[in-house]
Amino acid sequence: MRSSYNSRETGGSRRGGLQEARSRIRAGREASVLVVVLWITAGLTALILYFAASMGLELRASANRASDLAAGQAIEGAARYVGWALANFATNGMMTTNAQFVCEALPIGESRVWILGRNPAASETGLNQLVFNLQDESGKLNLNRANSNALTMLPGMTSELAATVVDWRSTNGSMSLGYASLGYQAKWSPFETVDELRLIEGMTLDHLFGDDRNLNGILDPEERSLTGSLFSTPGLLDTTTVFSREPNFHADGTLLTNVNTRAQIQGLLESSFGTGRSREILTRLGFPQGGGPGGQGGAAATPNFPSLLRFYLSSGLSQDDFERIAPELCVTTNTYTYGRVNLNTASVTVLSALMVGAGLSQEAAEGAASSLVRYREQNVTSLNSIAWMVAALGRDHQAVTTLAGRDLLTTRSFQYGADVVAVGPLGRGYRRVKFIFDISDGVPKIIFRQDLSRLGWALGDRIRQQIAQSVDQ
């Protein structure tokens, strides 16, 4: 009996052990399945997170691309806006101040637009602040008209480099330079853009940009001053142009009055001041007596005025009287006059260079230029003709008598630069394009366009902070 009991006990133990072993195996399998499931879940979770992050990045990239496109369209809208402003407010070559013409933070859709300008009195005031306005191309030296003496006065220039610039544009150029090693030859024809200066042998980035590497008119914190001053020193890209052209006709096509033609100037003087005074003025001007262009019998010589400044000095007219007729006058029978510099907008640097090119010493030119800029800053309502130069310096000043001998000055402008910067919605997207508008034929036309986005941020830290604050709100 005992043996049978033990046998049953042993069999039960074995069955219990087998069941336990099976339970362990089953538990192990379930654990393995759980681990596999966990690994698969972790993998799927990682994939979900990866794709979620990827889609988030793609969403941001799409938003950035949309903002960039919006900024680009804002640029196009700003160009149309500038054309409208010029058509409505730039009358007879004079750009008027109008509250409707906005140059700073102009809203176009959800974007904002700024029109970067220049402060021609920066070197006198020492201000290093962004300016927003149109840039007058006649406030710069014309590369195709300025002589080597004038070019030498521009920042960083030497007499050798100035001679090379003149040779490049000359149809009789003859300098044997190392252009062949650069893969091209000297052009020996007029400049078509200021950017052609990059091709001149010996030209460097310092010559082209000065210390204003992003061409925004100020010395940014990351820019190194070439002179140690607190304001920007411009380069050739900012002080020269090829687009200054003034028409010798009205918007309706009628010609201006040539001061060297007696019949024309007599008719204008009589209609403006009456017959009696007209005779007095003609006598002072040196026109011979009589109705014909040569006087009685046409024997007497007629005067030849090389410039309107000389005409004004000889006429005896007051500044106010000269301003009445100045928009009607020219000194040539040519359709256009090229390369005049605008007294109202040129910087000290440009005016000094112009005067040295005309024959003044550097010291006399710089002194006269500084005086002119200071005068116009204090008399902004009295700058309607070149006569204000005489009021500022005096009739017998060396600069006045020297510049009277050549047709170099004007107070009218017909080509304007619009350096348009756009920031897209939510402060994203950045575009910058420079346009040159020509209104010399009566209708604003874009004659030059250049993308400057590659030069980087041009609006300074203050506007960057304003944009960031507006986005946070």
Per-residue b or e along 307-322, where b marks 16 or more CB atoms closer than 10 Å to that residue's CB: bbbbbbbbbebebebb
Q: Give CA–CA dist 236/238, Å, rounded.
A: 5
Contact 140, 118 (CB under 8 A): no
Is residue 302 included in any domain, yes or no? yes
What is the structure's pLDDT at 295? 43
Query: What pLDDT is attached to residue 178?
Result: 79
Mean pLDDT of 359-371: 96
Per-residue pLDDT, 297? 40
The string of pLDDT tens digits covering residues 391-407 is 999 999 999 999 999 99
At 138-189, the pLDDT tens digits run 999 999 999 999 999 999 999 999 999 999 999 887 776 778 888 888 899 9
The amino acid at residue 56 is G
- Pick the closest to residue 309 from 238, 419, 387, 234 (CA basis): 387
3-state secondary structure 57-71: HHHHHHHHHHHHHHH
Q: Do residue 199 and residue 256 come from a single domain?
A: no
How many degrees, rounded to 5, is the angle at CA 224 between CA 222 and CA 229? Answer: 120
In contact, 138 and 345? CB cutoff 8 Å: yes
| pLDDT surpasses 70 at 10 | no
Residue 305 confidence (pLDDT) above 80:
yes
H or E segment at 92?
none
Amino acid at 319: Q
Global confidence as pTM: 0.85
The answer on 351 and 305 residing in a single domain is: no
| pLDDT at residue 335 in the model | 95
For residue 239, pLDDT beyond 90: yes
> Both 120 and 229 in a single domain?
yes
Indicate whether 229 pLDDT > 90.
no
* Structure confidence at residue 445 (pLDDT): 96
Pick the more confident residue, 441 or 113: 113
pLDDT number for residue 126 = 61
- Residue range of the domain that includes 221: 94-246+341-472
For residues 252-259, average pLDDT: 93
Closest CA to 429 of 66, 115, 114: 66
Backbone angles phi, psi at 422, to 5 degrees: -125, 140
Residue 346: predicted pLDDT = 95
Give residue 138's identity as a one-letter amino acid code. S
Does one domain contain both 378 and 425?
A: yes
Determine the pLDDT at residue 74. 96
Cα separation of 173 and 336, whole Å? Answer: 25
Range 354-381 average pLDDT: 95
Give the pLDDT mean for 85-97. 77
Top-ranked range on mean pLDDT: pick from 6-15, 257-266, 298-307: 257-266
Q: What is the pLDDT of residues 186-220, one digit of tens each?
A: 899 999 999 999 999 999 999 999 999 999 999 99
Query: What share of the chain has pLDDT > 70, as a percent?
Result: 90
Please state the rounded mean pLDDT for residues 97-121. Answer: 86
pLDDT of res. 296: 42
| 218 & 150 share domain | yes
Residues 452/432, Cβ–Cβ less than 8 Å: yes
Instruction: Specify whether 196 is located in the same domain as 214.
Output: yes
Q: Where among 314, 333, 352 does a domain terminate?
A: 333
Assess whether 319 and 356 both reside in one domain: no
> How far apart, in Å, are the Cα atoms of 56 and each of 113, 247, 427, 429?
29, 57, 19, 18
DSSP 186: -
pLDDT average, residue stretch 428-452: 95
What are φ and ψ of residue 38, in 5° steps?
A: -65, -45
Mean pLDDT of 352-371: 96
Same domain, 363 and 437: yes
- Amino acid, res. 135: Q
pLDDT, residue 32, reads 81
User: Is pLDDT larger for residue 162 or for residue 226?
Assistant: 162
pLDDT band at 323 (very low <50, low <70, confident <90, very high): very high
In a domain, 20, yes or no: no
Domain shared by 271 and 363, yes or no:
no
Matching residue, tokens 């300098």: 175
Residue 214: name the closest of 362, 434, 383, 35 by CA. Answer: 434
Task: State the Cα–Cα distance between residues 62 and 344, nearest whole angstrom.
Answer: 47
Q: For 302-331, what is the mean pLDDT? A: 95
Q: Are 452 and 217 in contact (CB under 8 A)?
A: no
Which of 66-80, 103-117, 130-144, 163-177 shows the lowest mean pLDDT across its residues?
Answer: 163-177
Q: Is residue 69 part of a domain?
A: no
Residue 37 scores a pLDDT above 90 = no
Q: Same domain, yes or no, for 233 and 257?
A: no
C-alpha triplet 383, 93, 285: angle, nearest 5°:
65
Total domain count, the chain: 2
The closest of 309, 339, 335 to 322, measured between CA atoms, is: 309
pLDDT confidence of residue 293: 43
Q: Which residue has the higher pLDDT, 234 or 97?
A: 234
Same domain for 285 and 360? no
* Structure confidence at residue 442 as a pLDDT band (50, 70, 90): confident
The answer to whether residue 198 is domain-embedded is yes
- Shared domain for 391 and 283, answered yes or no, is no
